[in-house]
């Protein structure tokens, strides 16, 4: 939750690079906590395999990989990012994190 608040703060301060850094961190932190192991740096194919083994559904996996890929792209193309998209990204990420927390064998 703190990482999402940090992303909101970066959005308010019009800092796209920090915003997308926090978006990636919030998703990976939620996955780390849910899977009880670090996932940062895992190739997306390995991440998908790990999530499949944990019982995550295809829709959630696709959404979270899309969000991670989009955030990675936006971090390095920060000058072309618009505030409305950042706000939509924040909403999508919050929803993804809620689903991560409810998903798989623990949910």
pLDDT digits (tens, 9 = 90+) for 56-76: 999 999 999 999 999 988 888
In angstroms, rounded to a whole number, what is the distance separating the alpha carbons of residues 25 and 31? Answer: 10
Q: Which structural domain range is residue 98 located in?
A: 2-106
CA distance 16 to 78: 6
User: pLDDT tens digit string along 75-102?
Assistant: 887 677 789 999 999 999 999 999 999 8
* Entry pTM: 0.89
The domain that holds 65 is classified in CATH as 1.20.120
Residue 73 token pair: 């792209």
Collapse the DSSP code of 103 into the 3-class scheme (helix H, G, I; strand E, B; otherwise coil) and give the result. Answer: coil
Per-residue pLDDT for 1 more than 90? no
Domain count, the chain: 1
């Amino acid at each position: 939750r703190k990482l999402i608040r940090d992303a909101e703060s970066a959005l308010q301060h019009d800092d796209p690079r920090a915003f997308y850094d926090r978006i990636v961190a919030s998703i990976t932190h939620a996955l780390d906590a849910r899977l009880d192991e670090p996932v940062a740096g895992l190739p997306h194919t390995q991440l998908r395999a790990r999530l499949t083994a944990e019982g995550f559904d295809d829709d959630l996996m696709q959404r979270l990989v899309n969000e991670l890929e989009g955030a990675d792209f936006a971090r390095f193309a920060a000058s072309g990012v618009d505030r409305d998209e950042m706000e939509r990204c924040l909403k999508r990420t919050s929803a993804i994190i809620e689903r991560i927390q409810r998903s798989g064998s623990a949910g």
